[in-house]
Amino acid sequence: MTSEATDRRTPGREVATMTIIDPPIQKTSTVETALLAARTRIEVKREELTEAEQRRSDLAVVLRAEFKGSRTYINGSIAHRDALNPLSDVDLGVVVPDPEGKYGPGKKGPSELQERAANAIQQLRSKYPDLRVEYKGRKRSILVRFGDPVTPGQPDFTADVIVAIDNPTGAGLYIPSYDRWDRSHPEKHTELVQQANAATKKSFSQGTRLMKHWNRKHDRPICSWNIKALALAVILRPISMTDYIRTWLDYAIDELDKGETQDPACVAGPIKMNKTKTEVLQYLRDGRDIFKRALQLEAEGYPILALNELAKFFRDEEVMPRPNQDDVRAMEAQRIKSMNFGAPASAATSASTTSLGERINTRSWSC
């Protein structure tokens, strides 16, 4: 469809006209449609998010009352808008003022502050009778067990509470590491993720949710924050779920092959992998091979086979159901027959471009 745009500000004056050509309508592919459906299945219900946020708010109120002049910050999957169903926990931090400089590396450790925080949280038993608080022997967080799940059918709902102090000589915070302190910048992490969600019109959090689910179903080779830290460098604009997964896998394999992921806030140390580098790369490469095969099969005109590969990719029948296997066998026979007649297979889109043929840019962290 075209239209003529003419400058009509000066009557009787001849001006140039411009033809506007409407962009072609992009048809959603079979793979993309399936990914959008899977994304919906793993989203947390609004009422469950509201309940989790209320519990986080309750914790914040008693912690700020205990530590006068403190501030709280939110972090983790709920703050980042990439929480998975079933919803199991929430994250919160409290930054305690230290005007006399008693705490920090080479000074007092965090245990005294953690004990005060834990005792303050116990006040919430009037609202949550089965609440329990654990902090001794834990590396970083105070663990709060509510004894009351947010998602029906789950055993419990918990909160991880970090007691932190400001770093007076550098960026970020000091957070507990058993009886010592580590540097981190969780407030900056949340800011970066929220900026990415805005810049990509939520496709950052939506694609991240899919990769977190894939990670969960493959024995968690890397932590959720590692997924997001890698995505921050490469998911920079609105993008389809197909392009998110393809782009993220290619980038993650390249980067993790070089070594551990650097902290996007340039404060904490590199992000540790949950398994050996060799094991992590094998999981990711196997996943990429399956996902690319799904895209190739769809490009060749075999959507049922593509969906079958997606089911293998996610390893979760509830999130990505397998198509009818009789249909799969019939279409595979059709594909083999076509190959025997020498019909060339159409090439899948290059991994360095989107489905629209646009090259994906990346951001480099300079720490």
Report the share of the chain in percent with pLDDT over 90. 84
In a domain, 8, yes or no: no
Same domain assignment for residues 148 and 111: yes
pLDDT at res. 229: 98
Same domain, 134 and 216: no
Q: Say whether both 202 and 310 belong to one domain.
A: yes
Q: Is the pLDDT of residue 97 over 70?
A: yes
**Pairing relationship of beta strands 180-184 and 71-75 according to DSSP bridges:** unpaired
Same domain (yes/no): 120, 163: yes
Cα–Cα distance list, 345 to 185, 242, 328, 341, 348 (Å) = 49, 20, 18, 11, 9
Q: Do 164 and 212 share a domain, yes or no? A: no
Residue 360: its pLDDT value, please?
Answer: 59
Same domain, 210 and 342: yes
Q: Look-up: residue for tokens 């050996």? A: 276
Indicate if 202 and 351 belong to the same structural domain: yes
pLDDT given for residue 365 in this prediction: 62
* Residue 15 neighbours by CB distance under 10 Å: 10
- Residue 320 corresponds to which tokens in the numbers above? 């990505």
The model's pLDDT over 29-41, given as tens digits with 9 standing for 90+, comes to 999 999 999 999 9
In a domain, 313, yes or no: yes
Average pLDDT of the segment spanning 174-179: 97
* Claim to verify: residue 168 and residue 309 sit in the same structural domain: no
Can you give the pLDDT at residue 340?
Answer: 82
User: Which of 163, 184, 205 marks a domain boundary?
Assistant: 184
pLDDT score for 15: 33
Q: pTM of the full predicted structure? A: 0.87
Give domain status of residue 26, yes or no: no
**What pLDDT was estimated at residue 28?**
81
Is there a domain that residue 71 lies in?
Answer: yes
Please report the pLDDT score of residue 341 as a whole number. Answer: 74
**Domain end among 162, 184, 206:** 184
| pLDDT confidence tier of residue 366, bands split at 50, 70 and 90 | low
Whether 176 and 201 map to the same domain: the answer is: no
Establish if 12 belongs to a structural domain. no
- In the predicted model, what is the mean pLDDT of residues 56-76? 98
CA distances from 296 to 42, 192, 299, 332 (A): 26, 34, 5, 14
φ, ψ of residue 133 to 5 degrees: the values are -130, 130
Whether 2 is in a domain gets the answer no
In a domain, 196, yes or no: yes
Domain final residue, candidates 184, 211, 244: 184
Q: Encode pLDDT of 149-159 as tens digits.
A: 999 999 999 99
Spatial distance between the Cα atoms of 159 and 144, rounded to a whole number of angstroms: 5
- Whether 187 and 267 have beta carbons less than 8 Å apart is answered as no
- Residue 273 domain-assigned? yes
Residue-level pLDDT at 59:
98
Provide the domain limits for residue 331. 186-367
Which two tokens mark 166? 């400001």
Query: Residue 22: pLDDT above 70?
Result: no
Is 174 in the same domain as 191? no
Give the pLDDT confidence of 232-272 residue by residue, as tens digits: 999 999 999 999 999 999 999 999 999 999 999 999 999 99
* Shared-domain flag, residues 152 and 202: no
**Together in a domain, 123 and 258:** no
**Which DSSP helix (H) or strand (E) runs through 213?**
helix 203-216
Name the domain count of the chain. Answer: 2
Q: Say whether pLDDT at 197 is over 90.
A: yes
351 pLDDT band, cuts 50/70/90, is: very low
